[in-house]
Structure 1
Amino acid sequence: MSLMWKLLATTLLLSSLAYAQSASDNVSDFLEDQFSSNERLKSVDVKIDSVVPVKEVKGWNAYIVDVKAVLKQRPKKTINQKMIWFSNGDVITKDLVDLKSGQNLLEVVKPQFKDAYYRPENLIYGNKDAEHKIVIFSDPLCPFCKGFVPGALQNLKKEPNKFAVYYYHFPLLRLHPASGTLVKAAVAAELQGVKNVILRLYTVKVNPREKDVNKILAAFNKVEGTNITVADINSEAVKKQTKNDVDVARDLMVAGTPTVYLDGKIDNTKKKYLKVK
């Protein structure tokens, strides 16, 4: 659970129950009023990023909301998070489930991958003008990523005019603290012109809970044949790139790894690229 949700859980039940909406019929005002009642928050700002009609449920819209909050105990830190809320104009709810399919409609209305997110520094294989674009958010120490990403990249790199492959680092630091250093090392190596860094990254042998930076870098350099140093991973260029990747993930509400997009739309199966003719 994110810090934002922990803070807001004291004032809003995070369930599929519906809530009466404010008389103003304004979702952002209603949410801001509710969140502001949390005594731990110094300030809260709620803005609606976009409104998506829910085709599966007549009369309902999904509101993709940007929330910025400042803690009273940490006034210099701003918490930014995207949320999705559903409303039909009379009630508002966090979850909406299709009774026929059992599908949580949150997955249907999540933000699409914007053209602005296709950054040159994230293109690891293929031609940027390829017929299809595939995006992968991944943590190199995630067991599910290890079972999917290397094989997928091996397949995708064979068809550079068919697939442009964009890779975004999304280390799950609470689960795998070591991935933070590995990701920075990978970015530093790429900035130095080293090729195929990402594929080899998944073969680095290190304890996911390891926090000794020197041990992690030694394991990375052994596999990659590099000499990445602590100074390298702390450079402004590396910090900027890793932050950009995490920012894109946050904007898209990426919650786990691996997360895959094909031609701008999330692919929960992660296999649609295999069916592209």
Structure 2
Amino acid sequence: MSQDVEPTNTDEGTPALPPFNAVAVREVDPSAVAEPGLPEGDTISAAARHVFGNPEAEICIVEFGDYECPYCAGAAPVLHEVVDSSEGRIRLVFQNFPLFEVHPFALTAALAAESVQATSGNDAFWKMHHKLFKNQNRLTDRDLRMYAEYVGADPDKAVGEAAQEYAPLVQADYAAGVASGVSGTPTLFIDGAPYSGVVDVASIRRATNGSASVTPRRRFFGLG
């Protein structure tokens, strides 16, 4: 399926969701999109399924990423080091933005990762997350099954018809990204503000301390 994706909406150059779900991203009301990685009372928002680090950390980095994107693979260890060395100040939220028109396996990889989260939890998800990035040239269904089994998840849920159960989750992330102006990967937001700097440890650390690389806070997922 991953090599036969056809866009459902190409007007004005806006990316569209593939036919695994018929709802077009341009029909999504941006004001209805949840705030990714931001607290709702004492809980984590529904959009923030994949949280690395302290869920109550004061600073939130949101990444929109694609498992077949080499730049995302390069960003992953950087972001994890920033979180690991922050003494609980920073958390990372990953949201799917598969560039399915140029990366034929990105969508099925995202579905497999979602299946791991659903069947085996957050720790297994992050193991799968790293496994996918380290093996970007091997993302066939056979590979995805093997990776799911390796991290202790259900391989039968990771591919094919069973994986389509998780398509709405991928679509919600993708639509949220489009609504926020995401057009490529990785795209980072720090506490709701777009990050435009270099993705290395020193630069991200400066940005989380108020560097000019973070665009002044603007409306993003309902934030003022």
TM-score scaled to structure 1, two decimals? 0.53
Higher strand share: 1
1:252 corresponds in structure 2 to: 180
Contact 2:25 2:175 in 1 (8 A): no
Alignment pair present for 1:3 and 2:10: yes
Of 60, 80, 91, 2:26 maps to 80
1:234 corresponds in structure 2 to: 164
Superposed counterparts of 1:1-277, under 5 Å? 3-5=10-12, 80=26, 116-118=35-37, 119-120=45-46, 121-159=48-86, 161-194=88-121, 195=123, 196=126, 197-207=128-138, 214-221=141-148, 223-229=150-156, 230-235=160-165, 238-269=166-197, 270-271=199-200, 272-275=203-206, 276-277=208-209
Task: Measure the CA separation in 2 of the matches of 1:130 and 1:225.
Answer: 28
2:218 corresponds in structure 1 to: none
Flag the 1:221–1:267 CA change in 2: closer, same or farther, 3 A. Answer: same
Flag the 1:139–1:79 CA change in 2: closer, same or farther, 3 A. Answer: closer
- Identity across matched positions, percent: 19
Flag the 1:206–1:264 CA change in 2: closer, same or farther, 3 A. Answer: same
Shift of 1:183: 0.6
Task: Measure the CA separation in 2 of the matches of 1:160 and 1:187.
Answer: 28
Unpaired runs of at least 5, structure 1: 8-75, 83-110
**Amino acid paired to 1:251:** A
Count how many residue pairs are aligned between Structure 1 and Structure 2.
173
Contact 1:204 1:219 in 2 (8 A): no
Larger radius of gyration: 1
Unpaired runs of at least 5, structure 2: 1-8, 15-21, 38-44, 210-224
- 1:130 is paired with a residue whose SS is coil
- 1:221 is paired with a residue whose SS is helix
Contact 2:67 2:136 in 1 (8 A): no
- 1:133 is paired with a residue whose SS is strand
**Amino acid paired to 1:240:** P
Task: Measure the CA separation in 1 of the matches of 2:171 and 2:25.
Answer: 15
Task: Measure the CA separation in 2 of the matches of 1:246 and 1:78.
Answer: 10
Flag the 1:189–1:3 CA change in 2: closer, same or farther, 3 A. Answer: same
Structure 1 runs of 4+ off > 6 angstroms? none
Contact 2:131 2:147 in 1 (8 A): no
